[in-house]
Structure 1
Amino acid sequence: MFQGQQVIVMGASHGIGEATAAAFAAAGAAVTITGRSKERLEAAADRIGSPVATAEVDATDPAAVAAFFEAVERIDHLVVTVGPGSGHGALAPFAALAEESLRAVFDGKFFAQFRVVQAAVPKLTRNASVTLVTALSSRSAMPGTAGLAAVNGALDAMVPPLAVELAPVRVNAVSPGVVDTAWWAGMPDADRAAFFEKAAAQLPVGRVGRPEDVAHSILYLAGNGNVTGTVLPCDGGANLATGA
């Protein structure tokens, strides 16, 4: 389906971005992965196995983003997974949420993704797709996540009008739930394992997500020419009313 198509995955040195790049490469696409660390990008490229190009780009740096896209000839599919690392600065009870911490997460995720898409627009082919990666926090009511909900909700809200404005380019987002990635690396191993076990027990699918799950959702949105303006949950049924 993606044979010979030009795909750029922004933020692909690990986790969801890496899994997405691997899936596109396996489907025959010509893939470029970006990230802030040359060493981590090269390690990701080695793990992917299929040939991928790498480019060191800090999505929080407007000049770096502009320079990268100026050198790009065309884009058939753009995937934007960039974020502020852990994002835990916005994970706090509302009364204790520091404005500067929330601004840093907005800069690292919302404005970074906004900046990437805006810079990419002139290079998108007529039938291109753009897929953002947001998060479950925008669709839930978990105490302590008001800041994360605001950041991801802003991205989710941008998808439908952007899909209309950029048409026939298709614009969608995938909204993951709890996924076993480096986002949780700041937790001690035992605490993380206990958290994942508790989260899995509360989900209809009985497990937390894996990066490959989100990658499959991204490829679906990129490959289905009749889907646009959609925020696709990939959360194991986290918001389903189970009757439990």
Structure 2
Amino acid sequence: MTGPLKNETVLVVGRGGGIARAVAFAARDAGARVIAAGRDQHALAAVYAGEPGISTETVDLTDEAAIAALGERLGTVDHVVSTASARARGRLADLDRDAVRLAFDTKVIGPLMLAKHLGPRMSETGSFTLFSGVAATKIVVGTMAVAITNGAADTLARSLALELAPIRVNAISPGVIDTGAWDALGEQGKADYFADISARNPARRIGTANDIANGVLFAMTSPFLTGVTLHIDGGEPLT
């Protein structure tokens, strides 16, 4: 297969749906050999069954030993994309300490450990792509834990870009994206929320997983891009 990632290996950490799945397919279609990794390898294997160029692995971002073991099994890798998250939503009085810790562990410390154990296995032309989110730049009551976690992910990307150089490190900051993350609102609640966001943001629509996957592909294949956060959010922070 030809493409800008031909003969390169891309590790995508996350669930088997939504953004992670879109990133895996975009990287594969760009010529890469893709490894999809997450805590439930059996679920991932079912998602990618029959898909050429995509294999699956097990990793728990809250377990450094599991991350180190993944590095040993993979050997070398060209690009790492971490989409994993664990959200701790709610107002200050309702926040649970363990939920906040898990969110930070999954989205900040986990990617930090990925860099620690996989960075030495990458070539100088490799890259890491981390995930932040619009809550870091658009402060809303009820999303404080999400905001501070995403803000830390932004800082991590810049810090790693210096320490791992010339390996490139960037972050992606999605806005509201049409994935299963909003299903808990119920069908009507989700529709109402999406309608409200679409009416107010400058793009006048909700983002798609492919919008984000295209941004990740850009980050992986742009050799002069490092230490930045790409805001793929339809202009939502402006509203």
Structure 1 gap ranges (5+): none
Report the alpha carbon displacement of residue 12 of structure 1 after superposing the two structures with TM.
Answer: 4.5
Report the alpha carbon displacement of residue 186 of structure 1 after superposing the two structures with TM.
Answer: 2.0
* Distance in 2 separating the partners of 1:46 and 1:208: 29
Match for residue 142 of structure 1?
140
Contact 1:131 1:221 in 2 (8 A): yes
Match for residue 31 of structure 1?
34
Structure 2 gap ranges (5+): none
Which aligned pairs between 1:13-162 and structure 2 lie closer than 5 A? 13-46=16-49, 49-84=51-86, 87=87, 90-162=88-160
Deviations 1:144-179 (A, max 9, x none): 111111111111012222111111100000000111
Contact 2:71 2:117 in 1 (8 A): yes
* Distance in 2 separating the partners of 1:15 and 1:76: 23
SS class of match (1:125): coil
Q: Identical aligned pairs, as a percentage?
A: 34
SS class of match (2:238): coil
Contact 2:135 2:143 in 1 (8 A): yes
SS class of match (1:185): helix
Is residue 183 of structure 2 the alignment partner of residue 185 of structure 1? yes
* Aligned AA (1:42): A
Match for residue 222 of structure 2?
224
Q: How many positions carry a matched residue from both structures? A: 236
Contact 1:83 1:112 in 2 (8 A): no
* Aligned AA (1:69): G
* Aligned AA (1:6): T
SS class of match (1:229): coil
Q: TM-score of the superposition, structure 2-length normalised?
A: 0.93
Contact 1:72 1:123 in 2 (8 A): no
Contact 1:15 1:182 in 2 (8 A): yes
Match for residue 202 of structure 2?
204
* Distance in 2 separating the partners of 1:143 and 1:216: 30
SS class of match (1:50): coil
* Distance in 1 separating the partners of 2:9 and 2:100: 34
* Distance in 1 separating the partners of 2:216 and 2:133: 13
Is residue 10 of structure 2 the alignment partner of residue 7 of structure 1? yes
Decide which moves more: 128-137 or 36-45: 36-45
Report the alpha carbon displacement of residue 215 of structure 1 after superposing the two structures with TM.
Answer: 0.4
Decide which moves more: 109-118 or 191-200: 109-118
* Distance in 2 separating the partners of 1:42 and 1:95: 40
